[in-house]
Structure 1
């Protein structure tokens, strides 16, 4: 069964397998059109090359880079503005072009907290993605970006409070805050299952992050059993108006996200 076409929009190279590697691999394996847009880092950098390797593992096509600089690594895109400082309309227009080209039925991105760590680039990616999905469906906005395309659903990669309590200390450095949502807000729980090895391989394709001891490096230092426990499950909140969030019962989706 072919699952819905899927576009992931993430802040940095390595966010794609860490946030939604199982979902990306599952949709791609089903034959669904699957792609990823990354907000930061330039094409001629090592991390962009690593991103290409990771996307190849996941089956998510070639890198699509917005070309902005990482908030914490100005050299990530020499001469470019930091993504979190970029004019909002400009960033939205750039992303609208990718949405209209890929024509996904589902878009996946960071939640409004920016995930467990609250990284400013993650937070800004959430804002830009939500606006770009809306703009992509309106034919009088960004006409230069191609024909309008209406996305069927937007899912926000997140961690429920229970998982943050259990897994967070292994994922977030000691002393730093963690951001999670009430368990009842989670609307899709995806078990990576048969695609977990592919997800882990994609994480380790980001070799520079392994070498410098970022999250991929910390995962590499764990036992295989502990690593699989940390990475086997992915949680999502379907993006709706704030009034529609609480309360709701978690819905387990074993084969991917649905429109």
Structure 2
């Protein structure tokens, strides 16, 4: 195949709030697309230095937490196949207090520079944590400023709660169900990389075959831009057939 025939690399940008968001919520999906050659860039707004878990037994403190969680996130990225990692250096638990236009502009710059086909972030109301909701709101605003309908924005969701999207004001046509069963080993490795956050969870450290049984086989995403080209509900990148 000549250079002219090589398909362009697909790109995915994930904009989250804390180290471990990428693993605990959508690690299987990120591992899946990385294994398929998608170039993945992760932005973490904070280094998670205000996290309540400090190891088991505790071995971290507020001064050492940020450096430890940065290292853990880098290791998790290696496990999942995430190629590029950036931090916004916002203090944990203060994302909602950052001037909104500044935060939107920073994310907008990433979207312009990378030109990703897919952007993942939190829903601004269903994120469950003020930092999650704030980074989701800013990312959504940045995406809508610069991305066209050929790009796709998705909101990550927790576990299998989107099996019944009507509870949240959405329909089944808004929910994307990604099969991650072939990538659960990578997801487990990323959980274990976030050591200070998972040491207290005994199941994470069980023998692999037992720990893997705790994972669901699918991860769910909400459609973030309703005006986008119709998509296959089982693939974040594919257009719908027909």
* TM-score for both structures, normalised by structure 2: 0.73
Matched residue, 2:193: 205
The one of 232, 240, 244 equivalent to 2:225 is: 240
Unaligned runs of 5+ in 1: 72-81, 138-148, 165-178, 245-250
By how many angstroms is 1:233 displaced? 1.5
Which residue of the other structure, out of 103, 113, 118, is the alignment partner of 2:125? 113
- Count how many residue pairs are aligned between Structure 1 and Structure 2: 211
Aligned match of 1:37 = 43
Q: Deviations over 1:12-36 (max 9, x none)?
A: 1000012221221111111121111
Q: Which residue does the alignment assign to 1:258?
A: 238
Q: Does 1:191 align with 2:179?
A: yes
Query: In structure 1, how many angstroms separate the alpha carbons of the residues matched to 2:170 and 2:48?
Result: 36
Give the corresponding residue for 1:14. 20
Quote the residue 2:4 is aligned against.
none
Segments of 4+ in structure 1 off by > 4 A? 159-164, 179-183, 221-227
Unmatched 5+ stretches in structure 2: 1-6, 50-65
CA contact (8 A) 1:161 1:180 kept: no
1:11 and 1:121 in contact (8 A); partners too: yes
Give the corresponding residue for 1:220.
204
| Equivalent residue number for residue 158 of structure 1 | 157
Conserved? CA contact 2:153–2:224, under 8 Å: yes
The Cα offsets for residues 136-184 of structure 1, whole Å up to 9 and x where unpaired, read as 34xxxxxxxxxxx8870001112554758xxxxxxxxxxxxxx966563
CA distance in 1, matches of 2:34, 2:190: 14
Residues 180/49 of structure 1: CA separation in 2 closer, same or farther (3 Å cut): farther
> Over the residues paired in the alignment, what is the CA RMSD in angstroms?
3.3
Q: Which residue of 1 aligns with 2:3?
A: none
Cα distance in 2 between the residues matched to 1:95 and 1:88: 11
- Matches of residues 83-98 of structure 1 in structure 2 within 5 Å? 83-98=95-110
Q: What secondary structure is seen at the aligned counterpart in 2 of 1:155?
A: strand
TM-score by length of 1: 0.69
Residues 17, 181 of structure 1: CA spacing in aligned structure 2 closer, same or farther, 3 A cutoff?
farther
Q: Which residue of 2 aligns with 1:128?
A: 138
The CA distance in 2 between the partners of 1:186 and 1:228, in whole Å, is 28
Offset of residue 114 of structure 1? 3.9
Aligned mates of 1:38, 1:184 — CA distance in 2: 29
Structure-1 separation of matches of 2:192 and 2:32: 18
